Amino acid sequence: MVAATSTKDGWSSRSAFILAAIGAAVGLGNLWRFPTLAGESGGGAFVIFYIGCVFLLGLPLLLAEIFIGRAGQTDAVGSIKRVARESDVSERWSLFGGLGAVAAFLIVSFYSVVAGWVLYYVGVFAADFGQAVLAGDPFRGALEGESQEQISGRMGSLFANPALLLSMHFAFMGTTLFIVARGISGGIEKAATWLMPAFFALLISITIYGAIVGDVGEAAAFLFTPDWSKLTPEVMNAALGQALFSLSLGVAGIITYGSYIRQGTKLGSTALAIALADTGVALLAGLMIFPIVFAVGLDPAAGPTLVFQTLPFAFESMPAGSLIGLLFFVLVLVAAITSSISLLEVPTAWGVGELGWSRPRSALVFGGAAFVIGIFCLLGYNILSDFRPLGFWSIFAETDILDTVDGFTGKIMLPLGALLTSLFIGWRADRKLLERTTGLSQGAFAIWRFLLAWLCPLAVTIILVTGLFPSLLG
Ligand code: TRP
Measured distance CA(284)–CA(202) in Å, rounded: 12
User: Which residue's CA is the closest to the ligand 1 atom numbered 4?
Assistant: 29
Residues 224, 226, 231: CA angle, nearest 5 degrees: 125
| Full set of structural domains in the chain with CATH | 5-473 (1.20.1740)
Q: Which residues contact 412 (CB under 8 A, 6 or more apart)?
A: 464, 467, 468
421 pocket-lining for ligand 1 (C-beta < 6 Å)? no
pLDDT recorded at residue 224: 95
Mean per-residue pLDDT, 186-210? 86
H or E element at residue 420: helix 414-423
What is the pLDDT confidence band of residue 398, given thresholds at 50, 70 and 90?
confident
pLDDT recorded at residue 116: 97
Measured distance CA(256)–CA(351) in Å, rounded: 12
pLDDT recorded at residue 5: 43
pLDDT recorded at residue 138: 93
pLDDT recorded at residue 382: 94
Would you say residue 205 has pLDDT above 70? Answer: yes
Identify whether the C-beta of residue 57 lies closer than 8 Å to the C-beta of residue 459: yes
Please report, for residues 143, 313, 320, 326, 327, the alpha-carbon distance to residue 135 in angstroms, rounded to integers and kept in the order given: 13, 21, 14, 17, 19
pLDDT single digits (tens) 409-427: 988 899 999 999 999 999 9
pLDDT recorded at residue 107: 95
Compute, in angstroms, the gap from residue 397 CA to the centroid of ligand 1.
25
Helix 44-53 crosses helix 216-224 at what angle (to 10 degrees)? 60
Most informative mutation of 118, 172, 251 for ligand 1 (most atoms within 8 A of CB):
251
Would you say residue 62 has pLDDT above 80? Answer: yes
3-class DSSP state of 337: helix
DSSP calls for 289-326: HHHHHHHTT--TT-GGGIIIIIHHHHHHTSTTHHHHHH
347 pocket-lining for ligand 1 (C-beta < 6 Å)? no
Torsion of CA 53, 92, 74, 406, to 10 degrees: -50
User: Which residue's CA is the closest to the ligand 1 atom numbered 13?
Assistant: 248
342 pocket-lining for ligand 1 (C-beta < 6 Å)? yes
User: Which residue's CA is the closest to the ligand 1 atom numbered 14?
Assistant: 248
What is the pLDDT confidence band of residue 6, given thresholds at 50, 70 and 90?
very low
Identify whether the C-beta of residue 315 lies closer than 8 Å to the C-beta of residue 321: yes
Mean per-residue pLDDT, 343-361? 95
Compute, in angstroms, the gap from residue 320 CA to the centroid of ligand 1.
32
Mean per-residue pLDDT, 136-141? 93
Give residue 142's region: left, alpha or beta (phi > 0; psi -120 to 50): beta
390-428 CB burial, b ≥16 within 10 A, e <16: eeeeebbeebbbbbbbbebbbbbbbbbbbbbbbbbbbee
Identify whether the C-beta of residue 255 lies closer than 8 Å to the C-beta of residue 65: yes
pLDDT recorded at residue 295: 80
Atom number of ligand 1 nearest to Cα 342: 9
Compute, in angstroms, the gap from residue 271 CA to the centroid of ligand 1.
15
Compute, in angstroms, the gap from residue 224 CA to the centroid of ligand 1.
25
Would you say residue 396 has pLDDT above 60? Answer: yes
Q: What percent of the chain has pLDDT over 90?
A: 62
Mean per-residue pLDDT, 257-271? 86
Helix 414-423 crosses helix 59-72 at what angle (to 10 degrees)? 70
Q: Which residues contact 467 (CB under 8 A, 6 or more apart)?
A: 237, 241, 395, 411, 412, 415
What is the pLDDT confidence band of residue 297, given thresholds at 50, 70 and 90?
confident
417 pocket-lining for ligand 1 (C-beta < 6 Å)? no
Compute, in angstroms, the gap from residue 20 CA to the centroid of ligand 1.
12
94 pocket-lining for ligand 1 (C-beta < 6 Å)? no
Return the higher-pLDDT residue of 43 and 185.
43
Compute, in angstroms, the gap from residue 132 CA to the centroid of ligand 1.
36
Measured distance CA(320)–CA(326) in Å, rounded: 10
Would you say residue 254 has pLDDT above 50? Answer: yes
Cα dihedral sign for 396, 399, 405, 406?
Answer: negative
